[in-house]
Amino acid sequence: MIKISHFKDNTVYTTRDGSQIRELMHPQQHGNVAQSLAEAVVEPGMETLLHMHTQSEELYHITQGEGLMTLASDRFSVRLGDTICIPPGTAHKIKNTGTVTLKILCCCSPPYSHEDTFLI
């Protein structure tokens, strides 16, 4: 069965880490099974809260802007085109260090859930 999600039809909401998320494809809304894909936005000067997921491996792909990524005890700059793998159980956050909105494609497997998001 073909599954299509239209950007304008997906509502923006705030996750536990404080980022604004638009689910582009998620089992609870779109009927796919093994993963979720969302766009997160972080405004200039803002950052997400330090958090982790016990079950989900997460990929961040930067589609606009630049930031400072914290991944466990490491901190490093990220920019347009970078992709970061965040293993399950790894504390992470990201700060927008630029002047434009930081946009991130976030892929989670298993799919993102509030119940698997723990603030640190």
| Residue 13 resides in a domain | yes
| Residue 71 resides in a domain | yes
| Residue 113 resides in a domain | no
Collect all residues with Cβ–Cβ distance below 8 Å to 103 and sequence separation of at least 6.
39, 40, 41, 62, 63, 64, 65
Q: Which domain holds residue 94?
A: 7-102
| Digit-coded pLDDT (tens) for 36-71 | 999 999 999 999 999 999 999 999 999 999 999 999
Residue 70 sits in a domain whose CATH number is 2.60.120.10
Question: Using DSSP, how many helices (H) and how many strands (E) does the chain show?
Answer: 1, 11
**What is the longest distance spanned by two Cα atoms in the chain?**
43
| Residue 34 resides in a domain | yes
Sign for the CA dihedral angle at 120, 94, 91, 57 comes to positive
Q: List the chain residues with pLDDT less than 50.
A: none
By CB neighbour count within 10 A (0-12 exposed, 13-18 middle, 19+ buried), where does 38 fall?
buried
**Does pTM top 0.95 for this prediction?**
no
